[in-house]
Amino acid sequence: MKLPVILIAFGSVIGTGHVLALDVPLTDEEFQSTIVGKTVRWNLDDGKTYDVELAPSGKAIVSGPYNDVGKWRVFSPGGYCTSWNKQPVTEGCVAIVRRDGALTALRPDGRFRGAVVGVK
């Protein structure tokens, strides 16, 4: 009797269209040691590459095709939100996950935002 229930549950997961890859959120400790205080190079979903630095003080710096200074805050777990001085007062947030061994940024709705291509 239990076998049909398992098959139905498995079929419903596949039928949702969600990727079955495992996205593992960074822990707060990993986020602090990997991202904060470092310059992280991102390839974003707009096809452009940006360097982002999140200082421990809460200051954020972005350079590349767009240059700005702003502030950041923790977005749990293992993610962050930024607001930039040159942009209207809106905040953008991402969760940082490990996907297939690489650091990836996801929007709050789960859509891909970008991939880390370097950290210095």
Give the pLDDT of residue 97: 94
Give me the CATH number covering residue 83: 2.40.128
Domain count, the chain: 1
pLDDT band at 107 (very low <50, low <70, confident <90, very high): very high
Give the pLDDT of residue 21: 64
68 located within any domain? yes
5 located within any domain? no
Burial of 107 (0-12, 13-18, 19+ CB in 10 A): middle
Q: Which of 84, 54, 83, 55 is nearest to 68 (CA)?
A: 84
Which residue is associated with the tokens 């360097």? 51
Specify the pTM: 0.77
Mean local confidence (pLDDT), 84-96: 91
* Parent domain of 85: 21-119
Q: What percent of the chain has pLDDT over 90?
A: 72
1 located within any domain? no
